[in-house]
Amino acid sequence: MIDTPPLPDRCGSLELDGHSIWWELFGGGDREVVCLLNGLAMHTGAWYGFLSRLRPEFDVLLWDYPGQGRSSTEDVPYHLDRIAAYLEKILGAIGAKRIHLVGISYGGFVALEFARQFPSRLHTLVLSGIILSHETLFEMYEDLSLRFYRGGADAFELYTRYMYEKIFGEAFVTAAGPERLETMRQNFHARYRDRTAALIRLTEAQDPFFAALDARLPQYRAIDAPALVVAGDEDRVMAPKFQKKITDILPNSRFELVEDSGHVVYLEKTDRFFASILTLMREKRAR
């Protein structure tokens, strides 16, 4: 949490498929652009504290999917391939031909769909806490999450406690302490207690992604941008061995395992995460 939110140099909304999609650009448009893609329950403001890691060298693009932050929240089916295509429209609005794309957790699904549809628009690709394979444990986690979202106020409040126990590694939880964790939980609960339909729609959008995965594998294998897959060794949402399988699909990729981190590596091991992705973006080389 930062005291004074930074002001973007440019920002706006695009009307797409009946949604109002909010975006923010930090930078003057004269440098390469890094796009940071939100996790499921994030919003653009969640990235503000990390802008200084990138701004000395890159412009930074942030945006909210339907159901997040300042984008609209229609209770209608969402589609990952369409959400990814919204990013291509945003790039048109800011005049960026190519980007460095960073997808963490849910944002990794969006990143993979963008890379599949628009491979020539990438400088580099970073994926963290994501899979590109059929895994029963993840299917069980998705089903349980939906049961919590659909279960009413008490079930959702319980979910906010279960989720934070699930996603973080031991070192982060110990260092953060109960007061910080409770503040984080309360903020999440307040943000989504009246918007659980958005969490349901975003989660359901993963089903067509996985249903089409096998048929689309040749397209994923054709993504040739330098790619880095970063996994926490204590990730209990997406096991590291599942994440590593991505490097068997993306031809120009490598895998990096971060010790003492859970699902949210960029937050739990911030120095390590940003050092790794900056090296990739500077060199534009995976190996």
> Average pLDDT, whole number, for the chain?
96
Asked if residue 165 has pLDDT above 90, the reply is no
Tokens of 84: 């990814």
| pTM of this structure | 0.96
Residues 53-93 have pLDDT tens digits of: 999 899 999 999 999 999 999 999 999 999 999 999 999 99
- Give the mean pLDDT of 146-152: 96
Residues 168-192 have pLDDT tens digits of: 999 999 999 999 999 999 999 999 9
Q: Which helix (H) or strand (E) holds 107?
A: helix 106-117
Burial 67-83 (b: 16+ CB within 10 A, else e): bbbbbbbbeeebbbbeb
Contact 8, 24 (CB under 8 A): yes
Residues 212-263 have pLDDT tens digits of: 999 999 999 999 999 999 999 999 999 999 999 999 999 999 999 999 999 9
Supply the pLDDT for residue 164.
85
Supply the pLDDT for residue 211.
97
Q: Report which residue type is found at 58.
A: F
Contact 233, 260 (CB under 8 A): yes
Structure letter (DSSP) for residue 25: E
What are the residue ranges of helices labelled H in 32-169? 80-94, 106-117, 136-150, 153-167
